[in-house]
Structure 1
């Protein structure tokens, strides 16, 4: 029904909002195609309970707004309209509600390519949504990378489970992550995860269990430190993530702040071969808009992990090394510019390939990662004058970047000594470049000068191209 332009509806609502009023009947329209809705009636009625209980027009209005938000959170409606109508004069305190809903397609397919680290990846998937009318989402996906990485997963999501503002998530997966280029090993993980997350995105709790295999599939080139980690492991871990994001816009924020903290405890299953460690990581960003053409951003990230021994609880076990697949890595646009991906931190010499001459040059080294890391970045961001950059939402930046990474366990040194080494081995770089936001992360083209580096770091001075996948960059 079109609104009369001569009527001040807001003023009229203010006059009658406290008058007694009840919703006495609800009419649920069919889908736009004339077919009944797939969504079960009890899911819709559950969100309308507060509407039925309202006793004034103001209460009905507030209840309808809440019901609309809750129904939207189910993720199955493309459009929803709610219209209140007056009933005949013999029921002056009653009204009717017309609920007009349009559902999304029951299926969805997608395909995409993206770059992660040094690997190009192709992804394809298909999903069934609300097929039984319970607002469920069933998605199957596969990924293949140019370095032999692959992933196959089947996931089930149930939003607003039991009416609570939370999403239940169950997943089965088989992952193959190739770290051959940087660390000479391949990780295969078969297992599943069960989790629950708040609809606001602030809280997420997940339990993961899977069988992991680490191996040198390239054959007799991995360093001794990597070979010592080869074998089968059981990973049973609980992970809690807390996040607050008060930045003004996604993709290319200009002001505000955000914090994410992730706590993981592994070893929550009995038996030999179970990985046992505690891990904490924190990311934060603060942005200040100085003018319409300039804003400053300050980003920090830090993490620590240590293994623990069931027989020595509550003490940690600094002698036992952590698993290389769970450690932190530094280097590349996602963490420390001016260095190659995973190019910072502890390394070990790879074994020579069969038939390789002894004088073939410096020996290649495997990145081992670390148990304690931190990185910081300060940047000035500014728009670029050419219309093409504006059309792409690209901007320029000048930055200073620093970071450090060390191992805490498995190195036969006391932890305080390792912490001192962490403070004495910071790497620093400065540079300038162009940033292009994309759906898979920020593509950066930077010119970088490295101010300080450590022995065996893989430095990338001059022009550096790559994707920064973290939302805190």
Structure 2
């Protein structure tokens, strides 16, 4: 008499109950171990097979792409054309073929529209004394639409945002991004941005977009700023070059706004070219323990035929290095940065105007919990009454020592830090709307930059590097403070993604 399926299940359940859980766990562990050993042996045999035949002459006869439903065939072919070209070269070997195919898979993953690709290679006979290879790359496309809402905390501001991304718009890894936010200081910000790789190259990206924002600067100066503009540019490797055209308004002046702020109130148009270079070899950009970074950003506005009503050359440079001290988890970091704004003549020919003093919305600001700790935000540099009006030349630097917290361990992103930082911000003197000697003004500013000690602060605090932002709670003590500058003695909280 045959037993029913339910009866068999009952027997199996009773057998399982009669087995010691420890024995059952050991058996499962043994099964997993045998499976792992078999996988390792198979992987080792495959590796040995490839190594033994690494110099075997081959040719790639076919690459089949599976799973790219929304991606253009021409786009896929451009990614693979280099591999096919190399496959026809004399002396092309199995090792080189696998290397080329692996690089193609890595290239596909870098476009941000696919999950990690999988590769399968099979033999397909002989041709002209070479072994033919058939390859199959399986692609699994990511969702084309991403909608996100949430809150951001960074660089002393909190905000709520809504973002929408449309990936692989035309089947060539293009992306269209829309972003809207409102915050404690940025009252509104809107941006639409389109990006597309050029010639199916993930290292060459064309970008175009438009933006609008309204931001309050009353926390350091008695005004607000409204921006409406657009940009177009290209990114390649560690470089980015863009053209920016923006209409700016200095508005919303407070009742006690200083003469400097009132003088710069109103509209201005900036038309500029910008280049940024970044080389970052740090192990963590929020809490680096080893590595280095160098960054340079240059902008030319209003010069020659660029147009607009402001003209200057502006440059910022930054370098930082971090290194561990032995294996104790203690590490040190040090950085130095500088900025320089050089006024230029505006226009060409008969319409050429002499160099003008810089405007408040083009100058540098210095100081704050994510900048020069121990000073209030924008608390360094020239002031007019209660307003920080910024400067044209600055230099700042700092050093940190990070200690792991006992019973927490060095592997956690929580550290005790001891720091010292300094900075100096000065403005150009002697320029008026009627003209002036720019070189003399620059020479005077550079002399003033080195006149006496810079503003200095030191302190101790806690650092937590969350994946989204870095949090610091420090006790700060200003050691050198110039007249009119605003220090911050005591506790200072810093939240941001870009700490200097």
Aligned counterparts, 1:370-385, within 5 A? 370-385=391-406
Q: Aligned residue for 1:248?
A: 283
Matched, 1:83 2:120: yes
Shift of 1:419: 2.2
Matched, 1:417 2:439: no
CA contact (8 A) 1:322 1:410 kept: no
Shift of 1:343: 0.8
SS at match of 2:41: coil
2:241 aligns with one of 205, 214, 236: 205
Aligned counterparts, 1:17-416, within 5 A? 17-30=54-67, 37-53=69-85, 54=87, 55-87=92-124, 93-147=131-185, 149-161=187-199, 163=201, 165-198=203-236, 200=237, 202-215=238-251, 217-267=252-302, 274-292=309-327, 293-310=329-346, 320-349=356-385, 365-387=386-408, 393-409=413-429, 414-416=441-443
SS at match of 1:180: coil
Deviations 1:82-129 (A, max 9, x none): 110122579972121111111110011122323344432222111110
Shift of 1:468: 4.2
SS at match of 1:408: coil
2:79 & 2:176 partners in 1: Cα distance? 23
Kindly name which structure, 1 or 2, has the bigger radius of gyration based on alpha carbons.
2
Does 91-100 or 10-19 show the bigger shift?
Answer: 91-100
1:436 aligns with one of 464, 472, 481: 464
- Aligned CA distance change for structure 1 residues 150 and 230 (closer, same or farther; 3 Å): same
Deviations 1:225-267 (A, max 9, x none): 0010012111111111111112233432211211001111111
* More helix as a share of residues: 2
Matched, 1:14 2:42: no
- Aligned CA distance change for structure 1 residues 3 and 57 (closer, same or farther; 3 Å): farther
- Aligned CA distance change for structure 1 residues 15 and 318 (closer, same or farther; 3 Å): same
- Aligned CA distance change for structure 1 residues 441 and 268 (closer, same or farther; 3 Å): farther
2:362 & 2:489 partners in 1: Cα distance? 28
Taking structure 1 as the reference length, what is the TM-score of the superposition?
A: 0.87
Shift of 1:207: 0.8
- Aligned CA distance change for structure 1 residues 375 and 152 (closer, same or farther; 3 Å): same
- Aligned CA distance change for structure 1 residues 434 and 239 (closer, same or farther; 3 Å): same
CA contact (8 A) 1:122 1:144 kept: yes
When the two structures are aligned, how many residues end up with a matched partner? 445
CA contact (8 A) 1:195 1:205 kept: yes
1:145 & 1:297 partners in 2: Cα distance? 32
2:131 & 2:120 partners in 1: Cα distance? 16
2:487 aligns with one of 441, 459, 465: 459
1:317 & 1:344 partners in 2: Cα distance? 31
Deviations 1:175-231 (A, max 9, x none): 222112211111111111111112x4x11111111111111x154331110010012
Gaps of 5+ in 1: 31-35, 350-364
1:81 & 1:311 partners in 2: Cα distance? 56
